[in-house]
Each structure stands twice: as structure tokens, then as C-alpha cells.
Amino acid sequence: MTIHREGYKSIGIGMLIFGAINLCMYYFFSASLMWLCNIVFVLTLGLLLFLISFFRIPNRKLTISENAVIAPADGKVVVIEETTDEEYFKGKRLQVSIFMSPANVHVNRNPLSGEVVYNQYHKGKYLVAWHPKSSTENERHSVVIRNGNTEVLVKQIAGALAKRIVNYLQVGQKVNQTEEMGFIKFGSRVDLLLPVGTKVNVQLNQAVQGGVTVIATL
């Protein structure tokens, strides 16, 4: 397991706060309230470890398949339905949405190889990530990857806690399946917009792993 580079600053700040709180507690209260100092130490250590785990990148055997769409994120499948996309395709698409809780791995990966033909950031609200309107009203970053005649839109969506979306891709860039495309801090959602008729290999409420689980077959 490694730590994602997006976490270096946050973890560093967390360690400084952890050290400052506990140094003050033990300096001022250890003589009379050692039990309180110990409780504060355990609680703040737990928060620090959670922060570190949020930015983890576990060692995995990633799935590479030319005819498959691989999960772009860890989480739970919360939507599988046809929808009308007004942003790029201007028509019907098959939407598969993955909800990412704060406990999930939050690195986002390319679901397929190809060329980036669209990349757009949208300001917006911070509705809870499972809200039906979060796909169109929340802060989000949309990317379309073209592979031959197939185009897949990947939408990183901010949630009630996620206040920062990071996307590393650029229009015209050639990308490889399962390589990093971005990161969303502190829980959110990722939507996939696929061609109508695409065979979906997952079910509602199924837990998926980014870079591993086959979401659909092209």
C-alpha cells in the first residue's frame, strides 16, 4: 500500500494538529486529568489514521480488457438506468453511478483506453452524492474518452463532504485503461455514461473496486 500524492499536504497538516493538541493536553492536564489526556490521544490518533487511510492506494492486480469498461472508482453501484445527457451526447445514454463513501479508496481510474475528446469542469452545488440531481447540479468534472467508435463519459461529482475534485486529463491526450485520471477528496460519486444497449455486468448495490471490476462489456 502507498499514499496518494494528493494526501501529502492534508496528512502533514493532520499530524501537526495531532501533535499540537496532545502536546498541550499532556503539558497542562497530565498531572490532574491523565485519563482525559489518554482519551483525547486515542480519539485524535483514530482521526489521524482515518485521514491517512483515506489517501491509501492498495496493491491490486488491475483488469485490462479491450472490450470492457472497468470501474473508475471504488464504491457501491447506486444507479443503473437510461438517461438523457444534455452536456455532451445530447441524447439517450445508459448511466451507471458509483457512490464513494469516505471509507473507500478515492483515486479515480480510466475505465477504458483511448483519446480524451472532451474535458469540462462545472461549478455547482454540494447535494448528497446519492441525490438524483447531483449528476447535473453538483460541482463536477466531465471527461469523454473515445475508443474507436465508442465514447464513454466519466463524471466526477462532488458530494456534501467532497469539496475538491482533481482531474489530470487533457483534451487530445492518449490514456490507458486503469491509469489514474483524478482524485476526489472526502466522499462523492462517479457516473459512467455508456452507449444504450451496452451489456452491464454489475447490479444495484454491488460493491465494486476501481481498476478491477468490469462494469460493462462493449
- Among candidate residues 83, 158, 92, 146, the one with its CA nearest the CA of residue 119: 146
> Rounded to whole angstroms, how far apart are CA atoms 54 and 56?
6
Helix H or strand E encompassing 191: strand 188-194
**The pLDDT of residue 21:** 96
> Rounded to whole angstroms, how far apart are CA atoms 33 and 163?
37
Residues recognised as catalytic: 188
How many CA atoms does the CB half-sphere of 104 hold within 13 Å?
A: 26
- Among candidate residues 70, 102, 49, the one with its CA nearest the CA of residue 180: 70
**The pLDDT of residue 4:** 87
- Among candidate residues 163, 153, 207, the one with its CA nearest the CA of residue 186: 163
Q: Residue 127 corresponds to which cell in the numbers above? A: 447535494
User: What tens digit of pLDDT does each residue of 109-157 get?
Assistant: 999 999 999 999 988 665 555 555 555 567 889 999 999 999 999 999 8
pTM: 0.85
Q: What is the mean pLDDT of each run of 10 residues along the chain (218 residues)?
A: 87 95 92 93 95 89 94 95 94 95 89 97 67 64 95 88 80 96 84 96 96 95
Question: Are the CB atoms for 24 and 37 separated by under 8 Å?
Answer: no
